[in-house]
Structure 1
């Protein structure tokens, strides 16, 4: 693995989340395709992309900044699933699966940020 981020478990978990979100968003109704489905997919993708971008060739302070963006994207995914649940777009099982994944990623990002000093 030539890139530093590929070894990060939090990055791997973020990829898993993006896959789950992508699969779940395919169940969204057509009228949500360019609204909530698009928003949640962009937010989920942003988590792994910011971890990757910030990890390589950056000072710790810069990496922490990118991790902060990834953290906010993770929280945005949670906001999106609450909207989807309220609109009866996702079921309880999909909600819980995404929520738990976001919660795990949040803890891991915070731990990584704290380890950077």
Structure 2
């Protein structure tokens, strides 16, 4: 099952991190950058789960690719938040993002 996958577990941890980070944003960002970051973070484990639940490798690969795209989107949004001064250093979160990216890449390679 998808919840046995290390990449899904780390993506869930990242989601919790993103929600904690986005709570510190200014109120005017509640429906802006904060919401976008949360949606991207939710998309990552959700797409891993949906792909794992599909009955074909091509479908699983497609959903893993979507998860990887959401991961890249989230990293960009974190950097935007940092540049806007909403958050400080995001090194620890970016390390987690890189690890998830690497695991997704490896999983995709193993399915091809």
Q: What range is the shorter-chain TM-score in?
A: over 0.9
Which residue of the partner structure matches residue 107 of structure 2?
112
Give the total of aligned pairs. 112
What's the offset of the Cα at 1:6?
1.0
- Indicate which of 52, 70, 75 corresponds to 1:73: 70
What's the offset of the Cα at 1:56?
1.5
- Indicate which of 63, 66, 89 corresponds to 2:86: 89
Q: 2:101 & 2:9 partners in 1: Cα distance?
A: 13
Listed as ranges, the matches of 1:15-94 within 5 Å are: 15-92=12-89
Give CA deviations for 1:5-24 in whole Å, capped at 9, x if unaligned: 01100000000000000011
Q: 1:39 & 1:59 partners in 2: Cα distance?
A: 30
Is the aligned partner of 1:103 residue 2:110?
Answer: no
User: Where does the alignment leave 5 or more consecutive residues of structure 2 unmatched?
Assistant: none
TM (norm. structure 1) is 0.93
Q: 1:112 & 1:13 partners in 2: Cα distance?
A: 14
Give CA deviations for 1:55-91 in whole Å, capped at 9, x if unaligned: 0132001100000000000001100011001100011
TM (norm. structure 2) is 0.97
